[in-house]
Structure 1
């Protein structure tokens, strides 16, 4: 277990470096926003496209895997929503609490870390988790918020959701990569070197950006944020493990990657949405901060445990 911790520690040390740079003012909010933009639209997209272009859709798309992850995540989503309703929370607040409990930082942290620690074969399962999070649960939060505010479901909501997916560079790069693979097109040496060089910036850039963004977050309402962090770091991977290993008998290696992805801390894009819709941004901010700090230990424990599965 110590060996696993030492392997994951460099990733969190880069996050810590970004946090110090943000706290000291060396890296201000504007600089963090531009770095995040570079990673999101260029470096991470290059990495995902290159990975996807070397896979086939048949290798990636596993409906048993998707069903297991959806069922487990849906269970935690409904549980956290129910607890929020029992406290008297509004639909919008309950939806964001459920999002905190189920949507991990798969794009910025999971893709680079899990592919390095668990092997490049992990990219297929990681991309499936990322796709489900973005397409299903990313759409669900928009539908719930818009529907609650309008008082009814409107066909225009689907248009908003569709445009949001088409504008997401992670979804676009994965689909373009799989399309390239489906056409059996070779990747020219120059193109491959370009994608490798640009994609290589994704790991340190994304980790540094996570840390710098955490510098501006506070741990207000720590009780609720603590509950949501426990759900994300403990309950979510536990539910995914039960679903993948016992209910749906997912292949051991794919199940291990799925569980590790579920153990990641709360995603930063949940905070961006909370700010956009003006729904509990401080609570979401605190959940991201607490879960990321706790993940230094918890993610190592989970990766160490799932390593025995394959």
Structure 2
């Protein structure tokens, strides 16, 4: 377990370095925003395209895998929603809290970290989790918030959700990579070196940007944010483990990667959505801060546990 912790520690040290730079104002909010944009639109997209271009759709898509992850995540989503509603929160707040409970930082932490710690074969299942998160749950929160405000679901909302997916660089890069693979096109050496060079900036850039963005977040509403962090770091991977291993009998290696991915801390885009719709942004912010700090230990423990499954 100590060996796993030491392997994951450099990733979190990069986050800590970014946090220190942001906290001391050496790295401003504007600089963090531009670095995040570079990673999101260029470096991470190059990494995803290269990975996808060397895979086939058959290697990525597994019906049992998708159902196992979707069912487990839906259960945790429902629990977090029910707890919020019983506490007297409205549908909008409940939707944000449920999002915190199931959406992990798969793009910025999961893909670079798990591909290094669990091998490049982990990329396919991680990308499948990322696709489900983006297509299903990121769409669901928009539908719930806008639907509860308008009292009904308008076609314009669905159109907006669809356009948002089509414009998401992570979805686009995965689809283009799979299309390239499906056409059986070789990647020219110059293009391959370009993608490797640009994609290589994704891991340090993403982790540093996460840390710098955490520096501006506050830990308010600790009881609720702590509960949501427990949901994300413990309840979510636990539910995924039961679903993948006992109910759907997913391949042990793919199940291990799925569980490790589910153990990742709350994603930063949850805060972006909460801030955009002005629904509990401080709660989302605190959940990201608490879960990312605790993940230094919990992610190591989960990866150490799942490594015995394959």
**How far 1:158 moved relative to its partner?**
1.0
User: 2:118 maps to which residue?
Assistant: 118
Q: State the 1:82 CA deviation.
A: 0.3
CA displacement at 1:7 relative to structure 2? 0.1
Q: 25-34 or 154-163, which moves further after superposition?
A: 154-163
| Counterpart residue number, 2:66 | 66
2:54 corresponds to: 54
Cα offset, 1:94, TM superposition: 0.1
Name the residue aligned to 2:90. Answer: 90
Measure how far apart 1:181 and its partner are: 0.2
Q: CA deviation at 1:157?
A: 1.3
**Displacement of 1:159 after TM fit?**
0.2
Displacement after TM superposition at 1:213 (Å): 0.1
TM superposition shift of 1:154? 1.2
Could you state the TM-score of these two structures normalised by the residue count of structure 1? 1.00
Partner of 1:172: 172
Name the SS of the counterpart of 2:35 in structure 1. helix
Could you report, residue by residue, the CA deviation over 1:85-126 in whole angstroms, capped at 9, with x for unpaired residues?
000001000000000000000000000000000000000000
Check if 1:223 corresponds to 2:188. no
Residue 214 of structure 2 aligns with which residue?
214
Per-residue deviation, residues 104-163 of structure 1 (Å, max 9, x unmatched)? 000000000000000000000000000000000011011001101111011111101000
Partner Cα distance (2:79, 2:220) in 1: 23
Structure 1's consecutive aligned runs of 4 or more residues displaced over 4 angstroms after TM superposition are none
Taking the TM superposition and a 5 Å limit, the aligned residue runs for 1:3-18 are 3-18=3-18
Q: Which runs of 5+ in 1 are unaligned?
A: none
Distance 1:79 1:224 in 2: 14
Q: 1:276 aligned to 2:253?
A: no
Q: Distance in 1 between matches of 2:10 and 2:283?
A: 28
Matched, 1:288 2:293: no
Could you tell me which residue of structure 2 aligns to residue 194 of structure 1?
194
- The normalised TM-score by structure 2 is 1.00
In the TM superposition, what whole-angstrom CA distance separates every residue of 1:212-261 from its partner, at most 9, and x where no partner exists? Answer: 00000010000000000000000000000000000000000000000000
* Structure 2 counterparts to residues 93-108 of structure 1, below 5 A: 93-108=93-108
Matches within 5 A, 1:26-65: 26-65=26-65
SS class of match (1:89): coil
What is the rounded CA distance, in whole Å, between the counterparts of 2:29 and 2:165 in structure 1? 26
1:281-305 deviation line (CA, Å, top 9, x unaligned): 0000000000000000000000000
Aligned residue pairs total 310
CA RMSD across the alignment? 0.3
